[in-house]
Chain A
Amino acid sequence: MTGEFTISARRVAARYGHREVFHDVSFDLRSGQAVGVVGENGAGKTTLLRALVGLIRPTQGEIRIAGLPPEDALQRIPTAYFAGEATLPGRVRASAWSGIRGMAVVTEGRRLRTLSRGARQLVGLQASLAPASLGLIVLDEPWEGLDPDGARWLSSLLTSKRDRGSAVVVSSHRLHDLAGICDAYLFVVNHRTTYVRAFELSPVGPVTAAVLTGTFDRLRGGDAWARALS
Chain B
Amino acid sequence: MSPWRFFVAVPLQSPYMLIGLALVVALGAAELIVAPGSGQEAVVTLLLLQMFSASSGFAIPARRGHYDAMLTGGVSRTAVVGWHLAMSVAPGAVGWLVLGLCEVGVGRSAVLSQGSIAAMVVVSAAGWAMTVPLPRLSGGVVWLVLLLAGLGWPTVWREDLLAVAAGGADVSTRAVVYLLCPLVVAGRSLTQEDLIALLPAMTLAMTGCLVAWRWLVHMNVPLEAAQ
Contact = CB atoms under 8 A, between A and B. Distances in A.
Interface of A: 16, 46-47, 50, 53-57, 71, 74-76, 78-79, 81-84, 86-89, 92, 96-97, 99-102, 127-128, 138
Given A74-B73, A75-B75, 5 more contacts: A46-B225, A87-B223, A89-B66, A99-B9, A127-B69
A19 to B, nearest CB: 9
Interface string B68-84: 11111111110000000
B76 A75 contact: yes
Nearest to A72: B76
B74 A75 contact: yes
B161 to A, nearest CB: 38
Nearest to A59: B220
Contact of A87 (B5, B64, B220): B64
A183 to B, nearest CB: 23
A54 to B, nearest CB: 7
Contacts of A75: 74-76
A54 B72 contact: yes
Interface of B: 1-2, 5-6, 9-10, 61, 64-66, 68-77, 220-223, 225-227
A100 B69 contact: yes
Contact of B73 (A87, A97, A99, A101): A101
A96 B76 CA distance: 23
Main secondary structure of the interface of A (DSSP, over half): loop
Nearest to B69: A100
Given A89-B10, A102-B5, A79 B74 contact: yes
A82 B223 CA distance: 12
A16 B227 CA distance: 7
A79 B72 contact: yes
A86 B225 CA distance: 10
B225 A53 contact: no
A56 B221 CA distance: 6
Contacts of A82: 68-69
Nearest to B7: A100
B223 A50 contact: yes
5 contacts: A46-B223, A50-B222, A75-B75, A86-B64, A87-B64
Nearest to B2: A102
A56 B220 contact: yes
B6 A100 contact: yes
B222 A81 contact: no
A128 B70 CA distance: 11
Given A50-B221, A100-B9, A78 B69 contact: no
